[in-house]
Structure 1
């Protein structure tokens, strides 16, 4: 979420540091370091709010001083998309994490944006459930997966993470907490955040469909040598009336990629 570039003097910068520390707590607000950048653009501060209200205060502070805010989860896709003109505050969502207490077997889960997807899957699996998501980025948070629209092979059978979205809570640039979802218009609004790279708001939590963990799972790997062989193999699998969750073509590193998708 970007605002106009701000020119703060030394005293103004010290005041921003003091305010961020008061909002987040001393261990959770600091001057940015060399690793705190977005697509090569360095940040000035890093703030890790402890909840939605603290995140809202950060956004209101930024709006008052014309500071640009960029949300960051695990940082696995921080360089995706266009390079921002300015990065003043990196708003780390690591403490906006957790899974809502839903009845066991409920078809929905509310998950904090900063929760690692692996942690969500591990928690749900204890009750025999899962999210039908397999984002390739190791350590990715749910908020990052949604903001980047990232998906793995499971999307071919179950749809993208956005397709499984039932509702969101997010913060607008003015710090207002917005809940969207529950019906067609609300769902359309919620899904606007998918793939937005955090430019439309700071995702706080998302409600998503869950499904039972399959009774059994089997991964089969077979080497192929030509695109035509891939085509024939897929046709054979479908003709056998199997129901694969996904069929993935994995090219080895350094191998030439086909010009036409198959």
Structure 2
């Protein structure tokens, strides 16, 4: 069952990184292709106002990370929050990473804001708090590369925490079979994280910077999270198919009994 994913790219690479690394949308294309070569991804840069045409259909819509604040009032951010609310109301499957995680929480009635815990950078470990039926049986913990100082501080109504840590309480959440979000970056590589840390070194305290650099000696679980996201999309797609078949069956039965 091939999947089509719409990637809503919410940032452009810093000029100093462009010669060495691909953009955030391309990072996700590479990540998913390593899990399943049949996955088709199309990238739309929402900062530039790019969105899918109304007639385009995708199995899921993924919002990438961004240096921007999800709670800001920049026109493109306001437009994205509105688009996500409409997409949720239309029953679309939505995925969010970092900024995407935060803006989806906000758009659907939760809260995201600057954290009093400061920057989270380097490698970070999380513990799973639940194991939904779509989640493959694996370890109870995972670790991801991170770079954020904003956090989701309240979940949308009906959502539940999937993973947590002492630093980031709402590190991942799910909302039914429609929304799955992670604060960490499964798409990042160690080299990209090193480049990003170096680029922003002046804004971190020296101890935090050194600890983050040292943490990059550890492996991260980006491929596992990519697998989880694809499993979530497939399960949501299968559920939608079952619901459609039930509705069609009821319609046929009504016609026969008329």
Fold shared per TM-score above 0.5: no
Tell me the TM-score normalised to structure 2 length: 0.24
Q: State the TM-score, normalizing by the size of structure 1.
A: 0.24
- Which is higher, the Rg of structure 1 or of structure 2? 1
More helix by percentage: 2
Q: Which has the higher strand share?
A: 2
